[in-house]
Structure 1
């Protein structure tokens, strides 16, 4: 929570003017004084207490002190999204943001420019006048129905009981007239006014790839207004955009003095192509003084050489993610990319993932005749501790891969390794882990084609100091034979085989007694269920590894639906996790 909101914002106006009060009931804000029976404490001490309370327990204390109320309201209204082209949805949010008490709580802003443009341009359809209510004329009944009706009336006369007449049926229900929409000009002014009030936004996301094309370009001064409104406090910027529209967004961007994280997804249609431009490196270089995290992902064919050749040096950069087709066809001159890595030896986190583009590449064609790799060989990153590596390019048969060998030698102090983009067989897992200093790894994540006792045993031997293991598996088997055939999931067989191999209860021998593994996660796809955690496999691992205390980073080994409250524990007053935030729709 931002402490600046604790005493300056008017909470009473915030809760009364919100259009979401019916769906998201907000209790009356407590005063600055604590509840009766509590000793008066300094405000700074209340802030310290709030930091020690777990987030799920904060709603219990919402009536104790104003600090907790502020934290709950700030969490509820922290995210604002303009992703709907419905003019009524957009206008409702714009009216709500006229209250500074709500606008100053927004920390994450998501904008789809095409949706905002369509919502502003939309015209309200003409409403038809409702028809007057009238009693419909009865249709003539068939002969047998008339006889039955007369017989029913005769019986009613004998019994002295007559049915009450049914009320007339209305052919149409009167509709409640809707409030007329503001004109497009008024909507533009409301949008500009809302942007001026969003002065405490930390993260901005712009998604501009779902659009009709250049003939429907934005005609309002949207982007200058966005930058003037949110630029001073912006720390994270995410752009997912078609490359030919990049100039419309960034050329009006002013200085972002606090920007620390930049995530770019650059899309290019196959029909358009892109020969290369300077707008991307020009935009990224503007934040060289403050940038700590940089991620660049490309979708579609693009020439990448010029981008890396024009990128400068970022003295504070600590995390880099490059997700693109890094082969000789797309990166014709690799000197710029290599020099960019050389200029940043203090990188602590690196993500390199090759993505397929216009052809299925089996070799990046950067291996020299001397066995060196033109991108990664002879580069040292002593501060590198976390590596995420994509394995789209297959391993060459019978020879060492200069690509993966060079990447593995970038940093000797690696403690976290994530392998993606390929289901690995047991022999491939052995090949990859032997390239890295696996005996120092604390965290390992990979995709395994088969989950077997042999896979677990090899990981335990190769990574004796591992603390966290995350596996995404295709099939669970009891054992791996020498020949691959069609397998079926055998979770019970896997659990029993692993226990029989790892545990000798009669002699009290535990093969993995000294393994330091404390957290394990196993996920797999299941038909008609989806991608989810396999609790049976994780429990099987916990049975044979005494040090396991947590599943999937949750801090416990129970399924969510099995977690019960302790006796005497009160239920949460407001379950924020189960509700949709009012502005984030």
Structure 2
């Protein structure tokens, strides 16, 4: 029976209180085939569907608003143990929680600037009776006329709502709510936009309760924080026995100039914190924003036997990484890494080289580093690419003959993984010559997936990729413009999509003699994106069709599994984290 018929029949049976006696495992198997946006419509099928929908609706909880009313309403809702057990993802902004606890709600019905309770005048009361009566004004007239004021009602909260608990009670309620979150698997901590407030600037004393409340089942931890606050946030975190994914973003703003002066050499809190999770950690991401000395971060890192994915987003040059031995040792100690992402970011100056080249033609960071398990590499191309294709067998001879020590970075990076099957190049729009240079350095004949940014999409670019990557199955391009020739000058501002399609077809197909230049190419999926003014960042449907017309093996566009022109063929901006259909998750606002 088709899945749709089974669900509809089950739904009708459920409404008549005659539920089919199917095993629970089968119902959960059926749920796995239903899209998330349609799942909530089937909440009435049976208890399994209802529980799955409720788990999805209440899976995320966020404390990111300093509004005390919103904060208190969430805490009151979490007193329901059934609901609090559904929370799987928790997001906390400590500054917002601190301000929401200490905030005093004001009556919005009063004029601006008028206090909630009239303050007692500090001026001494006049001694003379007539002066006292004149100062009383309207009250004296009412007293003479015999008009008596009705008793004043007790002050109420704004808009007729119940008054908020005191800050002490809100703190206690927050701690109780944390103890109820017994099944949180993902925790995101953001503490970088915080200037403090009055006398409690920078202070947040609830971290021990947070780690103790959610630490036992935590599998993913993401921290975006200023370096100055790192110790306050993680010192009380003793153990997370199930942590598998750690994502760190460390910020150092110019306002904290003492942190990045010549005497500042980093802090041991970062590596010591990471080392706590050595037995279980599988994915590690480290990103820095602002000037920091990075040597100590890597010098004190231990060995992570289960680490398979590593992401480094830092200004990895000799100015910020004065001692490269720790970084190099970290790579050599983890040959089991399968997924590696290295992005060079700009910090204090625009570097043309990283300063780690040696006269022998080796690189201090990546020379002689081999990762036999490496399958996927994402590389940020902030440092300029050397001109000319550097053949692996001739490169060292050229270095010795010319006596040059520059441009060993990309060569040594390309030699780390001989079994590489996926390559992603970011942070630079590549020219045709740069594409040829990079594909000549990497083991491109093994690549199955390739993704990069290109200045010009032209027939020569497609041909260069086909020649260098004969085993490619997935190609993803983000292009600046489209042209029938490369380099293009006249058509740079006006993309010539039709000219590109005709030139590519005439070059790749000869129908008279039935010759297909790319007949043996294994490309199965192609994606071409381009940004257009007043349109946005969209897939270019015509360019993908032009490539598919000359490559017989193409069967899919943009990873969808088919080539039909759907209306949803556009960028989604990432996964929807808080929306379920047209609704918003109630606890993640």
* TM-score, normalised by the number of residues in structure 1: 0.81
Please give the residue correspondences for 1:204-223 in structure 2 after superposition, counting only pairs within 5 Å: 204-212=187-195, 216-223=200-207
Confirm or deny that 1:479 pairs with 2:463.
no
State the Cα distance separating 1:499 from its structure 2 match.
2.3
Number of the residue aligned with 1:73: 54
Number of the residue aligned with 1:411: 417
Bigger shift: residues 181-190 or 57-66 = 57-66
Correspondence for 2:73 among 81, 87, 92: 92
Number of the residue aligned with 1:23: none
Correspondence for 2:467 among 443, 461, 470: 461
Number of the residue aligned with 2:326: 336
| Counterparts in 2 of 1:506 and 1:421: CA distance versus 1, 3 Å | same
Contact 1:361/1:393 (CA < 8 Å) preserved in 2? yes
Correspondence for 1:42 among 12, 19, 23: 23
What 5-or-longer segments of structure 1 have no aligned partner?
Answer: 1-29, 131-174, 564-574
| Counterparts in 2 of 1:246 and 1:559: CA distance versus 1, 3 Å | farther
Contact 1:35/1:64 (CA < 8 Å) preserved in 2? no
State the Cα distance separating 1:235 from its structure 2 match.
0.3
What 5-or-longer segments of structure 2 have no aligned partner?
Answer: 1-10, 112-157, 396-406, 570-578
Secondary structure, aligned partner of 1:297: strand
Secondary structure, aligned partner of 1:421: strand
Q: For residues 431-452 of structure 1, give each alpha carbon's deviation from its aligned partner in whole angstroms, at most 9, with x where no partner exists.
A: 0011111111111110101111
* TM-score, normalised by the number of residues in structure 2: 0.80
Please give the residue correspondences for 1:345-356 in structure 2 after superposition, counting only pairs within 5 Å: 345-356=335-346
Contact 1:74/1:105 (CA < 8 Å) preserved in 2? yes
Confirm or deny that 1:492 pairs with 2:498.
yes
In structure 1, what is the Cα distance between the partners aligned to 2:353 and 2:564? 45
| Counterparts in 2 of 1:101 and 1:456: CA distance versus 1, 3 Å | same
Correspondence for 2:385 among 392, 395, 400: 395
| Counterparts in 2 of 1:33 and 1:296: CA distance versus 1, 3 Å | same
Correspondence for 1:504 among 505, 510, 524: 510
Number of the residue aligned with 1:244: 228
Number of the residue aligned with 1:118: 99
Number of the residue aligned with 1:434: 440
Secondary structure, aligned partner of 2:61: strand
Correspondence for 1:177 among 160, 172, 180: 160
Number of the residue aligned with 2:135: none
Q: For residues 505-555 of structure 1, give each alpha carbon's deviation from its aligned partner in whole angstroms, at most 9, with x where no partner exists.
A: 444433323322222222222212322222222232223323323222223
In structure 1, what is the Cα distance between the partners aligned to 2:73 and 2:320? 46
Contact 1:199/1:230 (CA < 8 Å) preserved in 2? yes
Contact 2:281/2:307 (CA < 8 Å) preserved in 1? yes
Number of the residue aligned with 2:178: 195
Confirm or deny that 1:537 pairs with 2:527.
no
Q: For residues 48-89 of structure 1, give each alpha carbon's deviation from its aligned partner in whole angstroms, at most 9, with x where no partner exists.
A: 333344445534543222112211221121111111122222
State the Cα distance separating 1:176 from its structure 2 match.
5.2
Q: For residues 94-153 of structure 1, give each alpha carbon's deviation from its aligned partner in whole angstroms, at most 9, with x where no partner exists.
A: 2221112221111111111111112222211124479xxxxxxxxxxxxxxxxxxxxxxx
RMSD, matched Cα: 2.6
Confirm or deny that 1:581 pairs with 2:565.
no
Contact 2:341/2:377 (CA < 8 Å) preserved in 1? yes
Q: How many residue pairs were aligned?
A: 502
Number of the residue aligned with 2:8: none
Secondary structure, aligned partner of 1:191: helix
In structure 2, what is the Cα distance between the partners aligned to 1:268 and 1:349? 28
In structure 2, what is the Cα distance between the partners aligned to 1:264 and 1:447? 27
